[in-house]
């Protein structure tokens, strides 16, 4: 129903919110800021302030990403949650944070000219800059370099990745020992319920990397500065995907983990 109460949260539960419907249809943003904070590209629905309520804000951190907007994330688990434009009585929030049926659909993709070279539809040259890739957070407090190119990139639609990224994630495998850190003063780590570890910037909330419980390591594709030289190869855990989007890029899809 249009006036249903929708409840959303970060992965760890330190930020919880409620919003009264109807919700605006989802807009997917491919700008550099959204790609760095989410690790792929961000998606957002929106509601007026009078229909939005913070239930718990113990972990909420705001970062001024531009003169005209702030971004909100959980400082404990790193979940990308909010975008607040200056002087407007509305707030945008991640549909991936919502519980249950959202009742909305993806209506538009914006700033697609800033999209990743690894997108299936990308016309950008898939060449990596030199012998190393560089990954950095939005505020610049965390940065590292790693071998190029990225190679196959996997999109994950599990509930955990959708809660943390706000939409769904895209990452590629690399040995953790191959990373050369330039700066990590604001690096934060969160241990997920499955025993993995997420690395993110505590200041701006940018998603950086994931270390699985078995030690496998992957880097978020959206955090790479410039071309990755990689290509999106498959979608996994699609059974947990959001109801507000469909996958029509023709790539292999797996309901669970890729075999």
Per-residue pLDDT tens digits of the chain, which is 259 residues long: 456 999 999 999 999 999 999 999 999 999 999 999 999 999 999 999 999 999 999 999 999 999 999 999 999 999 999 999 999 999 999 999 999 999 999 999 999 999 999 998 877 767 776 789 999 999 999 999 999 999 999 999 999 999 999 999 999 999 999 999 999 999 999 999 989 999 999 999 999 999 999 999 999 999 999 999 999 999 999 999 999 999 999 999 999 987 6
Task: Give residues with Cβ within 8 angstroms of 178, minimum separation 6.
Answer: 146, 147
What distance in Å separates the CA atoms of residue 148 and residue 30, rounded to the nearest whole number? 22
pLDDT attached to residue 1: 44
Burial label, 204 (beta-carbon count in 10 A; 0-12, 13-18, 19+): buried
116-240 matches 5-110 in CATH topology: yes
DSSP 131: T
Instruction: Name residue, tokens 């959980």.
Output: 74
Fold category of 116-240 in CATH: 2.170.150
In CATH, what class is 5-110? mainly beta
Torsion over CA: 141, 178, 190, 219 (sign): positive
What distance in Å separates the CA atoms of residue 187 and residue 71, rounded to the nearest whole number? 18
CB 174 within 8 A of CB 186: no
Closest listed residue to residue 79, CA positions, set 170, 169, 194: 169
pLDDT attached to residue 259: 63
In the chain, where are the structural domains located?
Answer: 5-110, 116-240
């Amino acid at each position: 129903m249009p006036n249903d109460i929708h409840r959303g949260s970060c992965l760890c539960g330190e930020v919880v919110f409620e919003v009264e419907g109807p919700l605006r249809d989802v807009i997917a943003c491919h700008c550099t800021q959204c790609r760095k904070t989410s690790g792929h590209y961000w998606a957002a629905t929106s509601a007026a302030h009078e229909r939005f309520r913070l239930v718990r804000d113990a972990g909420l951190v705001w970062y001024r990403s531009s003169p005209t907007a702030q971004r909100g994330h959980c400082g404990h688990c790193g979940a990308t949650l909010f975008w607040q434009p200056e002087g407007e009585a509305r707030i945008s929030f991640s549909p991936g944070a919502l519980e249950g049926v959202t009742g909305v659909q993806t209506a538009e993709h914006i700033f697609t000219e800033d999209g990743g070279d690894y997108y299936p539809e990308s016309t950008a040259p898939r060449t990596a800059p030199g012998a190393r890739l560089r990954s950095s957070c939005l505020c610049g407090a965390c940065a590292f370099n790693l071998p190029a190119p990225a190679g196959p990139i996997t999109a994950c639609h599990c509930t955990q990745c959708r809660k943390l990224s706000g939409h769904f994630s895209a990452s590629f495998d690399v040995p953790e020992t191959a990373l050369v850190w330039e700066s990590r003063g604001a690096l934060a780590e969160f241990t997920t319920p499955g025993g993995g570890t997420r690395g993110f910037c505590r200041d701006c909330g940018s998603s950086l990397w994931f270390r699985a419980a078995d030690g496998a390591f992957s880097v978020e594709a959206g955090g790479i500065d410039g071309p990755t030289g990689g290509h999106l190869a498959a979608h996994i855990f699609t059974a947990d995907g959001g109801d507000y989007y469909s996958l029509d890029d023709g790539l292999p899809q797996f309901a669970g983990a890729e075999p």
